[in-house]
Structure 1
Amino acid sequence: MAGAAGGTEMAAVYDVLVRYDAETQQFEPQLAKAVEVAPDQLGWTITLRDGVTFSDGSPLDSRAVKWSIERFVAGKGTGSELWSDTVTDISTPDAATVVVTLDKPWSDFESMLASGFGLVVAPSSQNGDVFTPIGAGPFVVDRFAQREELVLNARPDYWAGSPNLEKLRFVSLGGDQNTLESLKSNGIQMAFLRSPEVVDQARSANLPGFIDTQDLGSIGVINNRPGRPGSDVRVRQAMAYAIDPQALDDRVNNGTGLPGSDMFPSFSQWHTDVAGLPTDPDRAKSLLDEAKADGYDGRLSFLSLQEPTAQRRALAVQAMLQAVGFTVTIDYVNSATDQTKRVLVDHDFDAAGSSLSLNDAVPFQRLNTHLQSSSVLNSAGYSNPEMDSLLAELQTAKTADEKRPIFARIQQVVNDTVPFATWSAQAVFVPWTSSVHGVTPTLDSVILFDKVWIEQ
């Protein structure tokens, strides 16, 4: 569940069990009244609030929470593999209590309850093959027109009291620049911005808002699978050494991004003394020459969306790779859906522009999803027992001081094996007009609207 992928809209309809407070760096109860962990971190007890109902009047009880989580896992929602590999049991000793049992300690388990697992869908929403969005959130769906708008109406019987806003309307305005202009003219009251140039403009305009800085916001994912150029680690290393993140940012974002080859930049709480690979065209040429001497012809395709920003990135990557001896063709696709299918489903690519968008508060889940050997969302087809061991160690680490040296070792393995090339972090900005108050951000740039009000 992320703000960039409809997380805010879903939270408005379904609510979440817990939310993340960026100021205190703690998880706070939302639908749950409390979450308690056993001393061994193997048992997590979720106590639900009294009297909470779904929008159809049915009770939000422990059985409903269990059903919703199991539905999410069965549907292979993001993180479901990790959940299945770690959770051994979900029990419901009474209507207000859910007990989740793990097979290993996991200090960040609560983050799952603030993500898709914590969006509680009513069992009554599923009637055969027909699904109706019924949740316990502050709003209900009034109208949905794909690629046009989503209109939500307030629930007067919401558990925390009737929302201050009567309606929410989510619209697509054809890109970040148009969205920012509409915000400035008060055509909309809140925006979601990811383009570095537009984020820079919005921040320069001193708009109020919430900024979420994500690690690995821009990467070059490299297909490691047999039969692809990237199956040779020397080719992957040559690609990483050839591309200058700063020059790439200058070409693509007019120098407004957060370029760098460190997985966790200097502003990250997980930054370590192990730096990412430096730009070194001579080293790139040498590695590429070695691969060519063993039969590689130097040809490589780069998969890219056919839209202006992605095209600029593809052309810049092509130029830098060709400067060290690669022969690069750009393979354009027309939609993000097409690119996702090529990369994640068909594995039909050599290299592609991508993003891991690690939430700096709890980066483990998404890092595990993309680097663990058996993960179905491991788009690079990367398989490394040492990395698997480090990820398992990271999951069970209890404190930040225990985790930081593991991140350093992960950076070193990434340097050595190059499952992807790191180009920049990503700043996501959710600005709003000065008339908007009571905004509650949570994980992954998701915004909760139950307390929002607009000054007249």
Structure 2
Amino acid sequence: MIPGFRRALLPALFTTAALALAACGSSAAPAADPAGTPQAGGTLRFAVSSDQGCVDPQQVGSNDTIYSLRQIVDSLTDQDPKTGELKPWLATSWQSAPEAKSYTFTLRPGVTFSDGTPLDANAVKANFDRVPQIGARGTLPKGYLAGYAGTTVQSPTQFTVSFQQPNVQFLQGTSTHSLGILSLATVAKSDDDRCASVIGSGPFTIQNYVKNASLTLAKRKGYDWGSTLFAHPGEAYLDTLDFRVVPESGVRAGSLQAGEVDAIGNIGQQDEAPLTGAGDQLLARPNPGIAFGIAFNQSKPIVSDPAVRQALSLSINRQEIVKAVYTSQTKVATSILASTTPAWADQSSLVAFDLAKAKSTLDAAGWAPGPDGIRAKDVQRLTVPLGFANNAGSNKPTLELIQQQAKAAGIDVQVQELQIAQTPQIQASGDFSALWGNLTRADPDILRSSYSVAGSNYYRIPQSPLEPLLVAQAAEPDTAKRAQIVAQAQQVLLQQGFYVPVVELTTVLGVAPSVHGVTFDASSRIQLHDAWKSS
């Protein structure tokens, strides 16, 4: 999600109920591998389409970058991708206060960072104390720690995290890469210095990083504190992970077929048949969180008009887009939340294609068709600049098709490509009208962290009936009651036209037949501790 946005969504990067692993489109569990006994050693060569330009897990949101950085940090908890249940990782146990304003954790003893320093309660406190100070790139972890009041250390293995108000989503946040624990030396660095080099406690360590080109990770010797969801204890099987930036989808697919790489991300629709025909595996899993779509800066002219936002949504034929651009596993958006997100509610009636209604909505708002079909009002042309980061092969063709569809309603969508590393600053500055992206998270609080006026409010959303709903769901510990509130919030978001969802992101990887044990976590990011290669 940067496929996606942040607190605002990080456009087109990002970019977490029933969750399942799909292989070649069918449901499958990653447990037993028919390939036989895992073999230790070797290098996994992985081609991705982009680099966010930062190796700090707490400052990235792009799936391409998270693939690698998930491997260098451990989290307090892990989330079962099948059930959504939280499982022990660095923390062996945890307790929540009745009002959900504080959480006490017990750490596994003996864990160390790759520089040899201990990962203890003081290290966790230093990480959490530092998160609120991170700049624009740190919107994800800052959202998980919303209302953070501090961490109290009781002993080297026990600490309590407190909040100013109830924060039921925090526990799920502790399972994410964004709250992965970094060394004290790393935490003390500036944001930019952390983007160049970090030290974690994960099963792999950074060996070499060349911005926009490659990232090489080496196996952490002596690693013995993996998640309880890992298939085997101890060190990772692979010696090295070699992530290479290959922007062109066709080149990535060709490299996999030629045996030059072992796995690729961002599979294009045109790649499916050739890859499966060559015997390669397609591993797929729908991403929870905010679906791919369009977010607006409501302080800007034109997009501040709700009629424009609603008409744009009505003009988009989502079925046509999925059929023309995306892989066979992809679904159209039926709400702002993807259907794999806890508390998702089907809002299909509010994201339906209706060109006639799009035109009548603009007519009623005073937007009259001009000589070239593009509408205008008070001599102002109905032009919507729409920014995106080209870190996924589907982004540009999707927006070009949206551009064509919107034109039929009289809306001039101007597609503008952005650099992925620049998007957090662009969001923070407010120098945009609309952004394309998604945001992955396996908790509905992603709505609050993106659209609450009490947060960063990168979209300049005014006070509305949405705000009390976002606040209420964050404080409601009862799952059923919380789901009802989240359903109302989704409805209000769409009725107000605050967001135009288009398509659900599905992570699809191409993997060579010699590669085994690649799994997805609950946020559809990959875990490579159990991955191995057969001879």
Flag whether TM exceeds 0.5 (same fold).
yes
Aligned pair count reads: 449
Partner of 1:363: 444
The answer on 1:249 being equivalent to 2:329 is no
Alpha-carbon shift at residue 98 of structure 1 (Å): 1.7
Where does residue 264 of structure 2 map in the other structure?
A: 191
Give the SS at the match of 1:258. Answer: coil
Shift in Å, 1:101:
1.8
In the alignment, the residues of structure 2 paired with residue 242 and residue 287 of structure 1 have an alpha-carbon distance, to the nearest angstrom, of 11
Give the Å deviation of 1:445: 2.6
The residue number in structure 1 matching 2:222 is 157
Alpha-carbon distance in 1 for matches of 2:85, 2:260: 35
Q: Which runs of 5+ in 2 are unaligned?
A: 1-56, 226-233, 368-376
1:41 aligns with 2:100: yes
- Find the counterpart in structure 2 of residue 106 from structure 1: 167
Match of 2:110 in 1: 51
Cα distance, 1:322–1:139 mapped onto 2, change above 3 Å: closer
Show the counterpart of 1:425: 504
With over 3 angstroms needed to count, the CA separation of the structure-2 counterparts of 1:309 and 1:81, relative to structure 1, is: closer
Match of residue 70 from structure 1: 129
Q: How far is 1:29 from its partner?
A: 1.5
CA displacement at 1:309 relative to structure 2? 4.5
1:119 paired residue number: 180
Percent identical across equivalent pairs? Answer: 21
Alignment-derived partner of residue 487 in structure 2? 408
Map 1:172-191; keep pairs closer than 5 Å: 172-191=245-264
Distance 2:329 2:145 in 1: 40
Deviations 1:307-343 (A, max 9, x none): 67544333322332232233x152533533455544x
What is the distance in 1 between the residues matched to 2:189 and 2:504? 43
Q: Which moved more, 1:57-66 or 1:443-452?
A: 443-452
**Aligned counterpart for 1:237 among listed residues 286, 310, 323:** 310
Shift of 1:232: 1.6
**Greater shift after overlay, 386-395 or 214-223?**
214-223
Structure 1 pair 320–80 and aligned structure 2 pair: CA distance change class (3 A): same
Q: Quick one: distance in 2 between partners of 1:210 and 1:310?
A: 18
Return closer, same or farther for 1:254/1:447 CA change in 2, 3 Å cut-off: closer
User: Which residue of 1 is the match for residue 420 of structure 2?
Assistant: 336
Output the amino acid matched with 1:151: T
Q: Secondary structure at the match of 1:320?
A: helix
What's the CA shift for 1:116? 4.3
1:15 counterpart residue number: 74
C-alpha distance in 1 between matches for 2:201 and 2:123:
11
Pick the aligned partner of 1:171 from 226, 233, 244. Answer: 244
Relative to the length of structure 2, the TM-score reads: 0.75
Kept in 1: contact 2:70–2:177 (CA 8 A):
no
Whether contact under 8 Å (2:257, 2:275) holds in the other structure is no
Q: CA deviation at 1:247?
A: 2.7
- Residue 46 of structure 2 corresponds to which residue in structure 1? none
**Which residue number in structure 1 is paired with residue 147 of structure 2?**
86
92-101 or 191-200: bigger deviation: 191-200
Do the aligned partners of residues 229 and 74 (structure 1) sit closer, same or farther apart at CA in structure 2, a change above 3 Å counting? same
Shift of residue 305, structure 1, vs aligned partner: 4.8
Report SS of the residue matched to 1:19: strand
Pair 358,166 (structure 1): closer, same or farther in 2 beyond 3 Å: closer
> Partner residue of 2:463?
384
Distance verdict in 2 for CA 1:311–1:455, change over 3 Å:
closer
* CA shift in 2, pair 1:384/1:277, >3 Å: farther
Q: Once the two structures are superposed, what CA deviation does each residue of 1:410-454 show, in whole Å capped at 9, x if it has no partner?
A: 232123210121111111124533433344532433333333332
Measured after TM superposition, the shift of residue 389 of structure 1 is 0.9
Identify the residue that residue 313 of structure 1 maps to in structure 2.
398
Q: Give, as a single letter, the amino acid of the residue that structure 2 aligns with 1:30.
A: W
Deviation of residue 121 (structure 1)? Answer: 1.1
Structure 1 contact 165–453 (Cα < 8 Å) conserved: yes
**Per residue, is there more helix in 1 or in 2?**
1
Contact persistence 1:229–1:296 (CA under 8 A) = no
Partner residue, 2:203:
138
**Structure 1 range deviating more: 60-69 or 428-437:** 428-437
Segments of structure 1 that go 5 or more residues without pairing to the other structure are: none
Alignment-derived partner of residue 374 in structure 1? 454
1:271-286 maps to which residues of 2 (within 5 A)?
Answer: 271-272=344-345, 274-275=347-348, 276-286=350-360
RMSD: 3.1
